[in-house]
Structure 1
Amino acid sequence: MTEGRRAAVGTGYCIFASRVGATLRHLESLGLDAPVLLRGSGLTASDVDGGDDPRVVDAGALLRVYENAVAQSGRADLGLCYGEAAGVTEYGPIGYAMLSAATDLQAVNLALTFQRLYYGTMARMSLHHEQGRGLIRIDEALPGTTGRRFFLEMLLAGFLRFNHALVGSQTQLLELRLAYPEPDYGARYPQLFGCPVRFAAATTELVFDTGILARALPNSDEITARACERVCRELLAEFDRGEPMAARVRRMLAECAGPAPSMAEVARALGCHERTLHRRLRDESSNFQQLKDEVARDRALLQLRDPGRSVNTVARDLGFDSPSNFRRAVRRWTGFTPQEWRRRWRAGGGARVSKADSVPGMPVWN
Structure 2
Amino acid sequence: MPAPQFALPVQYIRQIVEQVKRSNVPLPASFLRIRWDALPADEFQILDMDAFVQAIQDAIDATGDSAFGLLVGERMRINSHGMLGFAAMNCATLAEAIGVIEQYFLTRTRLVKVRQQTVGPDVHFKFEDALPLGRVRQPVQEAIVLTIKNLYDHITAGSAPIPYVSWNFAPPPHAELVREKFGCEMRYGQSWCGFAFPVSALHQPLSMADPTTLRQAIQACQREMHGMSAEPAWAAKLARVLLERQDAFPSLEAAAQLFNLTPRTLHRRLLEEGTSYRDVLDEVRHKLALEHLQAGKLTIQEIAYQLGYTDTANFRRAFIRWQAISPAAYQAGVNGTLNAP
Q: Give the TM-score category using the shorter length.
A: 0.5 to 0.7
Structure 2 CA distance for partners of 1:139 and 1:172, relative to 1, 3 Å:
same
Q: Describe how 1:142-181 pairs up with structure 2 within 5 A.
A: 142-145=132-135, 147-169=136-158, 172-181=161-170
Aligned to 1:44: 35
SS at match of 1:137: strand
Deviates more, 1:80-89 or 1:31-40: 31-40
Structure 2 CA distance for partners of 1:32 and 1:289, relative to 1, 3 Å:
closer
Deviates more, 1:125-134 or 1:21-30: 21-30
Q: Describe how 1:264-303 pairs up with structure 2 within 5 A.
A: 265-272=251-258, 276=262, 278=264, 288=268, 291=271
Deviation at 1:194, TM superposition (A): 3.5
Aligned to 2:6: 15
| Deviations, residues 285-307 of structure 1 (Å, cap 9, x unaligned) | xx7399389659xx9xxxxxxxx
Deviation at 1:89, TM superposition (A): 1.5
Distance 1:28 1:66 in 2: 10
SS at match of 2:114: strand
Aligned to 1:73: 63
Indicate which of 188, 194, 199 corresponds to 1:205: 194
Please list every run of at least 4 consecutive aligned residues from structure 1 whose deviation after the TM superposition is greater than 6 angstroms.
250-253
CA contact (8 A) 2:17 2:36 kept: no
Deviation at 1:84, TM superposition (A): 2.0
| Deviations, residues 211-252 of structure 1 (Å, cap 9, x unaligned) | 232232222211111111111101101247613xxx526996
Structure 2 CA distance for partners of 1:29 and 1:179, relative to 1, 3 Å:
same
Structure 2 CA distance for partners of 1:166 and 1:60, relative to 1, 3 Å:
farther
Distance 2:97 2:133 in 1: 30
CA contact (8 A) 1:176 1:205 kept: yes
* 2:122 paired with 1:133: yes
Query: What letter is aligned with 1:107?
Result: A
Please, which runs of 5 or more residues in structure 2 have no aligned partner? 243-249, 280-341
Indicate which of 215, 225, 235 corresponds to 1:236: 225
Deviates more, 1:42-51 or 1:97-106: 42-51
Deviation at 1:206, TM superposition (A): 1.2
Deviation at 1:37, TM superposition (A): 5.3
CA contact (8 A) 1:56 1:242 kept: no
Distance 2:272 2:202 in 1: 37
Query: What letter is aligned with 1:154?
Result: A
Structure 2 CA distance for partners of 1:292 and 1:43, relative to 1, 3 Å:
closer
* 2:101 paired with 1:115: no
Query: What letter is aligned with 1:158?
Result: T
Please, which runs of 5 or more residues in structure 1 have no aligned partner? 1-8, 257-263, 282-286, 300-366
Deviation at 1:102, TM superposition (A): 1.3
Distance 1:270 1:276 in 2: 6
Query: What letter is aligned with 1:201?
Result: Q
Indicate which of 86, 91, 96 corresponds to 2:86: 96
Distance 2:61 2:159 in 1: 31
Query: What letter is aligned with 2:71?
Result: C
SS at match of 1:242: coil
Aligned to 1:312: none
Backbone CA RMSD of aligned residues: 3.7
Distance 2:205 2:133 in 1: 39
Distance 2:2 2:12 in 1: 19
CA contact (8 A) 2:126 2:193 kept: yes
Deviation at 1:277, TM superposition (A): 5.3
- How many corresponding residue pairs? 265
CA contact (8 A) 2:83 2:217 kept: yes
Indicate which of 13, 38, 42 corresponds to 1:24: 13
SS at match of 2:196: strand
Distance 1:108 1:219 in 2: 15
Distance 1:234 1:63 in 2: 28
Distance 2:12 2:274 in 1: 28
* 2:231 paired with 1:248: no
Structure 2 CA distance for partners of 1:61 and 1:216, relative to 1, 3 Å:
farther
Structure 2 CA distance for partners of 1:153 and 1:170, relative to 1, 3 Å:
farther
CA contact (8 A) 1:96 1:228 kept: yes
Structure 2 CA distance for partners of 1:239 and 1:269, relative to 1, 3 Å:
farther
Structure 2 CA distance for partners of 1:251 and 1:190, relative to 1, 3 Å:
farther
Query: What letter is aligned with 2:251?
Result: E
Aligned to 1:183: 172
